[in-house]
């Protein structure tokens, strides 16, 4: 069963009616004497191909797939070393700049200029603060 919406062009009345899929009439009578027509497209996701921007969607998907194909060997090498990159996309860059899992986990921070040493210092300060807070109760 599916719910279909109908609209009367005379009195602007809107109603919902339930029919088995594929059996709903395109038009039905209205209480005002007019003819209600099925409203097409309410609550539906319109595919990109119909909207006209399919080319961009396809190009974006192709570009992403091309990057993944180039990054997949690096991703696999990292995994073989026991490291877990956050994603396939960008694994070549991660492989070139990371020596261990900590480097992988903090790659975004390093891109923002945070050094490994500073990260470790701040992490230690945070752990110490948590410990002191727990001890105070």
114-124 pLDDT, tens digit each: 888 898 999 99
pLDDT higher than threshold 90 for residue 128: yes
Which residue has better confidence, 125 or 50? 125
Query: What band does 41 get if pLDDT is binned at 50, 70 and 90?
Result: low
Q: Identify the pLDDT of residue 50.
A: 56
23-35 pLDDT, tens digit each: 889 899 999 898 9
- Report which of 35, 5, 34, 1 is spatially closest to residue 17, judged by C-alpha positions: 5
pLDDT higher than threshold 70 for residue 68: yes
Which residue has better confidence, 52 or 4? 4
Q: Identify the pLDDT of residue 134.
A: 92
72-101 pLDDT, tens digit each: 999 999 999 999 888 888 888 888 888 888
Q: Identify the pLDDT of residue 1.
A: 79
Dihedral sign for Cα atoms in the order 50, 56, 62, 65? negative
Contact 83, 100 (CB under 8 A): yes
Q: For the chain, which residues make up each domain, given as ranges?
A: 2-38, 55-98, 106-137
Which residue has better confidence, 46 or 120? 120
pTM for the complete prediction? Answer: 0.47
Q: Which residue has the tokens 């209480």?
A: 31
């Amino acid at each position: 069963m599916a719910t279909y919406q109908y609209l009367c062009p005379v009195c602007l009345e809107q109603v919902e009616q339930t029919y088995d899929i594929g059996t709903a009439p395109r038009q039905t009578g209205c209480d005002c004497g007019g003819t209600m027509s099925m409203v097409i497209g309410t609550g539906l996701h319109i595919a990109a191909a119909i909207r006209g921007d399919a080319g961009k969607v396809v190009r974006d998907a192709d570009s992403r797939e091309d990057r993944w194909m180039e990054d997949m060997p690096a991703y696999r090498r990292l995994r073989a070393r026991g490291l877990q990159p956050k994603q396939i996309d960008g694994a070549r860059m991660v492989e070139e700049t990371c020596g261990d899992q900590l480097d992988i986990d903090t790659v975004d921070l390093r891109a923002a200029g945070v050094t490994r040493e500073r990260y470790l210092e701040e992490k230690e300060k945070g752990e110490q603060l948590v410990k002191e807070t727990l001890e105070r109760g």
